[in-house]
Structure 1
């Protein structure tokens, strides 16, 4: 098929001078689209560059460059003295079988089948409005951003650029950061770690996902509290584990129910947030803490301890983590700076026995060769010079004031509508509503008034009928909290 293609086929081609893309590339895109649409077939001859340039009102060299571009990509071929042709290696397409990247529909829906993950459909992130009672986030306006900026910039200006930028490093994290973090955790949480007990990760969820990938096999039993954190439960399901939920009361996880399960079947891991249980914020009572450790030693299961907001406890000093009393290496402890600084800081850590950290580091390479060592080392400097510790002392007082103010507001403005207990720590108030309140309707109405509220769907379980929301107070000023409660009062 060597006859020239009729010029009218190209009359529909137009150019957008504001697209920022060179005209010759726009022309090559248009010709390629004609090929993929089946309007240009293998072996067909293209118009001479001079004729096409005259038709489109562009420079002949632009057409030549467009042809050369397509020829380099293998779509066209030329013969000296004969002209330019659609490559004989191009398979002819019909429009109905089109799957080319230039077709807008291909960017909306893939041509292959996706396996449904139904368990990821039941939690959504609420829209953010000007006012917010969120899931328990810190106030980034209080974070030591200037100090962090200086520490990060200092890392970029120091010597040893090849060590920092020229090669990969330890997947567990830079030694400087792990040593600084080890000293900090030992002083603040009563741990007895060295740098070899620490693995740097990009937030708590990555750490939990890594634990599931490295230590959990399909069919393994994982026990956690109900209500709990949906995100971590999704990781258990995604790993093929068999999750079992047990009740949480005003004293935390009901460990006696765990003992009954252990008598019947092999438990691989127990996930727990003993300091401030998510979502209800209750603390695990001391006798249950000791019993949980005893059961782990007896039945050999892993305790995955998530201490997501250790630093913010108001009634007394923070309760030391289970990991501080672990004498047999049964606890994997995870924490994060996301609740201390800002969720935008994807900085977390895992603490465990040395051989566990070594094993997790090997698996981590499959997912992420290493973390952000520059950011880690900047944080290490802030730990070593006391910036983090001073910041936490300051924000603890601020958040306690906001908690007290918020609870007083709830207790006066909504005393006949909601039930709550002022939390001993954390950044949210677990607030229960009567059955007559439609929480999803309330959330939508509040958003229309400029207030975003954490998603109540995340705390709904079969057999757990409490209508509860986590109303975060830490990220809002007292003035903002007053406006937020006033909106709720009007709606309720």
Structure 2
């Protein structure tokens, strides 16, 4: 057994005097680490407190506290008149001095010691850039949110003694108060004749689709999506092991006759739709096609998964009601997000479905989100009950309508010779198709040189199509003008 003098404690006990962690805990944790990894095996006699304090250049009282901590955690034992010894099974061969020189205990393993399954399906497609300007796929402007007012409501709820019991319970079923108010809100705004028992509260649209996929889809099922569709949703479907079939779209949305032809050829389990504003092209599914799809679902027995990701953002006229509002046979599962115009921390997702399916969906939510966020849901419930949501949405819609009009004006003025687009009736993005093919990846790099970032997820290019989805909601007038000018200059530089 190595004597205490032979063990180079300074090589693996490193003290950071600027750390918030006390020095005695730093030393204790590193000694425990050395014991766990076999550098201080069973029976090793530790130096006396004075000797180790001199070695590590700390006060003796620090080492006394270290040994007390090791003793309290059961790593060492103190034998009167003999010293302090490491407790454990003598299974490891003590390491030599050279072994200590090769190894630093503060380093965490770079790779696992076991194999595991990897998947490129779920690779993060999102990019980041230090550019001053950027386009996205259509998100609200955080600067327009009334964070102070929202925070006051949250703080008020947190201080109420009657709500303290919420903090002591898991509640993945969500706030009954919020679900009651949200069901009423959806009834009035979207014509959904539901009760709170038809609602499941989630953290996001993606979580909603994941849970629905886990319950309703099996490996080998066939799911229909638009010929251009939301990449995150496609990733979830691919992870579920289903076969994804693309259905063509036009200016009225997904082509119903193509859906019918697909149903004649094989069993279709699900049709995924974003009917209010198709992602990414922003076209609205016509009322006639909505009825035709409902009839097809009844005839062939496939599920319609309706994603109304930006229903709240409509400018020129009242939006067409969701398919779910006209569904009398229980063929539609409706998902959406609530509070999208608020700060991200105040948003939530939801699922609307018949009660028998809801019971099964709750089981899965209980596994992946047992805690829930009942306090935030209480805040949102009060914002609905007090009419705050409607007031804020009305105010923000006026701003986003003005931004849409100005963005369309700039596109026409600066790049109208190169692209074709229609001013969308709602949403926070414009779909632009290039009149003549252009290398969009190259265009993106050219824009980045001039301080404008265009993520690859906004670029759609194949043999028949060169197009971009350009989100404008997060940009004010000056930022829009600068961004479009950079886009225009970059396009001209490639010609």
Would you call these one fold, judging by a TM-score over 0.5? yes
Distance in 1 of aligned mates of 2:193 and 2:7? 79
Q: Displacement, 1:161? A: 3.0
Q: Is the 8 A contact 2:346 2:376 kept in 1?
A: no
The 3-state SS of whatever aligns with 1:475 is coil
1:115-134 pair list within 5 angstroms: 115-121=117-123, 123-127=125-129, 129-134=131-136
Aligned counterpart, 2:61: 61
Could you give the per-residue CA deviations for residues 122-150 of structure 1, whole angstroms, max 9, x where no partner exists? 72234364323211001122223333223
In 2, Cα distance between equivalents of 1:101 and 1:365: 42
Cα 1:164–1:78 change in 2 (3 A) is same
Partner residue of 1:469?
A: 468
Q: Aligned pair in 2 of structure 1 residues 320, 162: CA closer, same or farther (>3 Å)? A: same
Cα deviation, residue 241, structure 1: 2.1
Q: Which runs of 5+ in 2 are unaligned?
A: none
Confirm or deny: 8 A CA contact 2:136 2:458 kept in the other structure: no
Q: Contact 2:248–2:254 (CA<8 Å) still a contact in 1?
A: yes
Alignment-derived partner of residue 85 in structure 2: 85
Distance 1:210 1:439 in 2: 35
Kept in 2, the 8 Å contact 1:221–1:242? The answer is yes
CA contact (8 A) 1:199 1:350 kept: yes
Unaligned runs of 5+ in 1: none
> Distance in 1 between the 2:196 and 2:36 partners?
57
> Would the alpha carbon gap of residues 55 and 190 (structure 1) be closer, same or farther in structure 2, given more than 3 Å must change?
closer
Could you list the per-position Cα deviations for residues 51-77 of structure 1 after superposition, in whole angstroms to 9, with x for gaps in the alignment? 222333322232232233334444434
Name the residue aligned to 1:45: 45
| Contact 2:421 2:430 survives alignment (8 Å) | yes
Task: Say whether 1:135 aligns with 2:137.
Answer: yes
Matches of 1:242 and 1:102 in 2, distance apart?
48
For residues 128 and 310 of structure 1, the distance between their equivalents in structure 2, rounded to whole angstroms, comes to: 31
255-264 vs 221-230, which deviates more?
255-264
| Pair 1:491-2:490 in alignment | yes
Q: In the TM superposition, what whole-angstrom CA distance separates every residue of 1:336-381 from its partner, at most 9, and x where no partner exists? A: 1353224443411111112222221122111112521111111111
State the alpha-carbon separation in 2 of the partners of residues 359 and 35 from structure 1.
Answer: 48
Which position in structure 1 is the counterpart of 2:168? 166
Match of 1:146 in 2: 148
The farther-off stretch of 432-441 and 376-385 is: 432-441
Q: TM-score, normalised by structure 2?
A: 0.90
TM-score, length of structure 1 as denominator length: 0.90
Cα distance, 1:365–1:382 mapped onto 2, change above 3 Å: same
Residues 303 and 278 (structure 1 numbering): CA distance in 2 closer, same or farther, change over 3 Å?
Answer: same
Q: Which residue of 2 aligns with 1:214?
A: 215
Q: Does 1:378 align with 2:379?
A: yes
Aligned to 1:426: 427
The correspondence of residues 381-392 of structure 1 with structure 2, limited to 5 A, is 381-392=382-393
The residue aligned with 2:333 is: 332
In the other structure, the counterpart of 1:446 is: 447
Change (3 A) 1:378 1:11: closer
2:233 match: 232
Change (3 A) 1:364 1:78: same
CA distance in 1, matches of 2:474, 2:76: 59
Question: In 1, Cα distance between the equivalents of 2:70 and 2:90?
Answer: 12
- Alignment partners' CA distance in 2, 1:122 and 1:183: 36
Partner of 1:22: 22
Contact 1:247 1:254 in 2 (8 A): yes
Deviation (angstroms), 1:91: 4.5
Cα distance change on mapping 1:350 and 1:37 into 2, 3 Å: closer
Which of the numbers 155, 158, 170 marks the counterpart of 1:156?
158
Cα-Cα RMSD: 2.7
> 2:400, 2:433 → 1: CA distance?
22
Q: Distance in 2 between matches of 1:88 and 1:335?
A: 56
Question: 1:439–1:456: 8 Å Cα contact kept in structure 2?
Answer: no
What residue in structure 2 maps to residue 113 of structure 1? Answer: 115
SS in 2 for 1:118: coil
